[in-house]
Structure 1
């Protein structure tokens, strides 16, 4: 078992876009660890969300690391812009059109953290060769593109396989999960080996952000004792 602390990464896709800065600062005060930024291009996934200007506007508004998830067809073409805007960690899909090692190296050269993302249908083994090069693997526990979907328990063996391979290679790999994470599903993901939890509606829909973050973290920590 890994000994990373549990990190909570609220997905700003679920915040009030008319008050994004205020919402994100409130989530920061509530004890969140990262802010998760979902970028969709309407091509790689069937939805369009936000982009570089939002990251640039958020960067001076909060101190939390900005965890930028690129659900786009050609991430390599946009890495410079997102890094310039203030991204601290960029994850992109192994299924995208960009060459993974080149994209990872581009992020690394800027001194930022890099990660790969797996869609539900993509096996864990696709990213095994790249694990020594990255900081994070994110397992999509819903189909990427829309918030509010239900957690897919069939992804738990994938999380387990990634954690086992990271331990086999002796790597301090973060495993992030994104999709349907709430106090009921968080312990399942953590027990399987995840340590970074992306949550949108489970956090931003609650009137008490601090309570929501605390409840999710407590549920996740309980998963380590199952």
Structure 2
């Protein structure tokens, strides 16, 4: 059975002064997840949302959250958030803490455990964690800032990752793609095996169109 494709709207690209308004528009247009990036200014040279913002977003919407922790030490932040069943919580394979300890805590909350890979990290390098992973989050750009260009060769990495997972009988692990995901690229990556698409400035938060226009258009490419 083909995996249902899903759109995860990247809130760091939203109008932060009107975030609740944008969330209501995203809800109305049927997005599947709200993607929330949490950074530490060390793992990546930027700061975005924190656990209090995650909990505030949780209080105004029933949409599941797709929480992406770009942090060297995610343990404390993971435990400060209101994680719910149906959420995806991703930590980086390159972080400096126990992957298994964090995975166990996330799964205890009935959330899906995601393992994020930087562009130069291969799926082979994280093979030992795959029995515990629900989602592989492939970074298609150097992480940290919205609006960056996709790194050459990342399309092929999507294909290679799906092939590796299927060859090793990890058919149930979904691939999420993040970074410069335009409608056209999303359509191609769907064919290569991705099923969760993080929509940012290249996909749905575009200056030339409203969310009421871009979200339905994006869905038209991936479904």
**TM-score for both structures, normalised by structure 1:** 0.91
TM-score (norm 2): 0.92
CA distance in 2, matches of 1:215, 1:195: 17
Aligned to 1:199: 199
Shift of 1:153: 4.2
Contact 1:9–1:36 (Cα < 8 Å) also in 2: yes
Runs of 4+ more than 6 Å apart: none
Matched residue, 1:188? 188
C-alpha contact (below 8 Å) 2:27/2:63 kept by paired residues: yes
In the other structure, the counterpart of 1:224 is none
Cα pair 2:85 2:110 within 8 Å, conserved: no
Report the counterpart of residue 218 of structure 1 in structure 2. 220
Q: Distance in 1 between matches of 2:25 and 2:61?
A: 10
Shift of 1:77: 2.5
C-alpha RMSD of the superposition: 1.8
Runs of 5+ consecutive residues of structure 2 not aligned to the other structure: none
Q: Cα–Cα, structure 1 residues 86 and 193, in superposed 2: closer, same or farther, change >3 Å? A: closer
- Aligned twin of 1:115: 114
Aligned-pair CA distance for 1:31: 1.6
Alignment CA distance shift 1:84-1:167 (3 Å): closer
**Partner secondary structure for residue 81 of structure 1:** coil
Q: How many residues are aligned here?
A: 220
The unaligned stretches of length 5 or more in structure 1 are: 222-226
The structure-2 alpha-carbon separation of the partners of 1:144 and 1:97, relative to structure 1 and needing over 3 Å to count, comes to: same
Distance 1:59-1:42 versus aligned 2 partners, 3 A rule? same
Q: CA deviation at 1:165?
A: 2.7
* Residue-by-residue CA offset, 1:17-60 (whole Å, 9 max, x unaligned): 11111111111111211010011110000111111111111102
User: CA shift at 1:8, angstroms?
Assistant: 0.5
Give the aligned partner of residue 15 of structure 2: 16
